[in-house]
């Protein structure tokens, strides 16, 4: 299982780093890629050195893609045609496409949320309602599309990704290892 987490300047640190950490704890091959070479700065000034840049990624080798939110991170992702095309092709191949916070708007721009069930940061609810079945759930899985709401749902999002990608046993192990408590526990 190989998952790409994209990092654009302005990404939400909690959403990106939490997902990367939890997926790697579960034994998933996670590759981080910036839109360009070099450091990427999060929305709160944390600088991260991605594993590679997007131009070096062959998306045909991927099992899925995770888009962190954060402003202007998700806006920068949505302006990149490589990201939009990758989302379309992964979705068409029924591979996983996941987005949290404002990033589901990138899925709308790519044209993959039409008629699907999804959630988004409260500021994006109307945009999602315009083309998809909006849910206020903290994490929503609709086939190969997985969405979540805010930095506060990042742990639940990451654990749900593990469950969907490699099974409930691995998710429970990651949850126990981190002493995570999710809504409903």
Residue 41: strand, helix, or coil: strand
Residue whose pair of structure tokens reads 């969405």 in the numeric block: 147
82, 88, 90, 93: CA torsion to nearest 10: -140
Residue whose pair of structure tokens reads 């987005």 in the numeric block: 99
Q: Which residues contact 180 (CB under 8 A, 6 or more apart)?
A: 155, 159, 174
Say which of 20, 101, 113, 159 is annotated catalytic.
101
Are 146 and 134 within 8 A, CB to CB? no
| Residue 94: exposure state from Cβ atoms within 10 A (0-12, 13-18, ≥19) | exposed
Mark whether 182 is an active-site residue: no
C-alpha–C-alpha distance, residues 126 and 128, integer Å? 5
Rounded to 5 degrees, what angle do the CA atoms 46, 158, 59 make? 80
Catalytic residues: 101
């Amino acid at each position: 299982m190989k998952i790409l987490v994209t990092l654009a300047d302005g990404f939400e640190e909690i959403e990106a780093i939490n997902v990367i950490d939890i997926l790697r704890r579960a034994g998933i091959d996670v590759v981080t890629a910036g839109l360009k070479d070099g450091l990427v700065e999060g929305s709160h000034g944390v600088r991260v050195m991605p594993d590679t840049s997007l131009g070096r990624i062959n998306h045909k080798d991927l099992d899925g893609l995770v888009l962190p939110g954060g402003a202007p991170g998700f806006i920068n992702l949505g302006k990149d045609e490589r990201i939009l095309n990758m989302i379309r092709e992964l979705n068409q191949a029924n591979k996983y496409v996941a987005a949290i916070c404002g990033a589901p708007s990138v899925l709308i721009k790519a044209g993959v949320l039409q008629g699907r069930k999804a959630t988004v940061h409260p500021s994006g609810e109307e945009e999602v309602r315009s083309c998809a079945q909006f849910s206020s759930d903290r994490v929503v899985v609709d086939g190969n599309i997985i969405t979540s709401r805010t930095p506060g749902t990042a742990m639940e999002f990451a654990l749900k990704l593990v469950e969907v990608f490699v099974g409930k046993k691995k998710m429970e192990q990651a949850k126990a290892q981190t002493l995570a408590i999710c809504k409903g526990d």
